[in-house]
Structure 1
Amino acid sequence: MRTIDLLGLSSPEWSATEEGLWTSQYGASIQFQSQTAGTLSLRFAKHYPESIWTLTVDGVDQEELIVPEQVLDLHLQADHQYQLTLNQWQSGQVAFWQGGLVIEDGAWSGDQNLQPIIDWQSSDYLTFVGDSIVAGEAMAGVNHDQHQPTQSFPSLVAKQLQLPLNRIAYGGTGLTNRAPFQEPRAIDALWQVGDGIARRRVHSSKVVVAYGINDANYGATDQEFAFGLRVYLLELVKRFHEAHFYLLTPWNGAFAAIVAAEVARFTSFTVVPAHEWGIQTRPYHPDGLAHQKIAAELVKILED
């Protein structure tokens, strides 16, 4: 078996470190084209309990895989496009950010090298930034505890528009100090994938912003939200200075006037009235059908 360049096959949510390929993001993926049959073996830095991944073949989700120990072996056929996406593992949000999930290396037994589907250094990514809903958390399950990033609205929109996806989304975070998790802070997540670990820079001409759309930023006052939003918008423009931004309002209509006033300071923002869509939660997060509804609304706006 030959060692492969995992960074070249990975989505922007992964960064290369001395330990290996590091992520702190549900929805981070490895994507590639197989030319010959073979076995792909991924070796993790340690055992990550209840590590669940979705295997997608030629754009269709095929099965969920559980990594039993530290190695995941995938037996692949020739001439298919594969995507392996991290759904979840047994970790809290802050611990995930601090410790990450690390793939030490990958090996491939096929006669010809696996080929990247996306050239991450030159592609124009569709970027989504936000919290747990953008990450595709808690979309399914009797106890509302199953994540489905590949069926979340960012994934559905990117697939419909045939654009590669860049996702920056951490559950329980927000734009004010009212958010239950202050690590990572929204601004830090734009630049890092972990404490002191730089996030890869990719180009995006369109960025969708969806923070606090189901919770009105955890009861923040108008003043708190206005200040947090203003600081964050400035940082967004700094990070994606060539992009146009689409800012979703909370579903209950909270802060709509503040959003309009703050966005008016810029020429590169469009307010998306998500409070007009009638999105339902169960009880806090939308299910798969609601994500499809959100995606359909966004596609119409982003295609204009």
Structure 2
Amino acid sequence: MVLDEFDLIHRYFSRPTSTTVLGVGDDAALVAPAAGMQLAISADMLVEGRHFFPGADPYSLGWKSLAVNLSDMAAMGAIPRWFTLCISLPSADADWLDGFSRGLFALAEQYGVELIGGDTTAGPLTISIQIIGQVETGRALCRHGAQAGDDIWLSGPTGAAALAVQHRYGNLGLDAEDLVYCTVRLDRPEPRIALGRGLLELATAAIDISDGLVADVGHLAGRSGLAAHLYRATLALPALSDKALALPVFESCLLAGGDDYELCFTASPSCRSRLMSLGEALCLPLARVGTMLVGQGVDVLDDQGNPLSLARAGFNHFA
């Protein structure tokens, strides 16, 4: 069966909306933020061969395409409300579209976010989502709010998603159990929306870890006009076998791998006990992993306080 653009949209991407003034079907959607709220707007693009492997499972790709945008909302402490989808497709393959849309809407329904518009065209497989959320006026978490002396916190372990990438490239071989864990971390990231909301009263700055821990901490520190020290010994390790943790590439994956979508945030030392309670309430292993200080740049320190030498800090979109 050959689908044209309008059949495709109607069959796979048209859903009733309950939170819009006007949804899919017109030249633009109409939305109204709640009183006392600001809109938070972000967009991410995923390109086949650059951000995901050719032949990627469509359900997982639908899930992840939205998850990376939801993670941006989490980093701002925002409530996700609406999103648009622009997708370029090599062909209107019904089986692929069915899997992709099911993955997309499974996550959308989990977080109560509604598709309100977008566009489709023929071309190389490229997925671009714009997400719109809302956050109380003047209370959004930003990257520039960190203060010297703040603790640096991380919501969960890094490195497993990058190991899955290395496995798919054929650079290493993970045992079956490790591969399942790493694949889930890469393909089905869980946006930390509830944590972001809980941090509004506690954190001074936040960022989600997409390009690599050291790189993204560097973005946060740079926006705040500060330096950062990360303590290697305090970094939580992913739930992997000793064999996987001993892989030569693991250290680079842990510190610079990316695709983790955990939240990294800063907070005053006076907030430590409340943050630990928040982590327990959300079943998240929040951990203090560093300190913000006067200066610039990011150093990862070993047990003796000496800077570790890093081959790279994170993912470069144009390298």
**Structure with more strand by fraction:** 1
**Structure with more helix by fraction:** 2
**What TM-score results when the alignment is normalised by the length of structure 1?**
0.31
**What TM-score results when the alignment is normalised by the length of structure 2?**
0.30
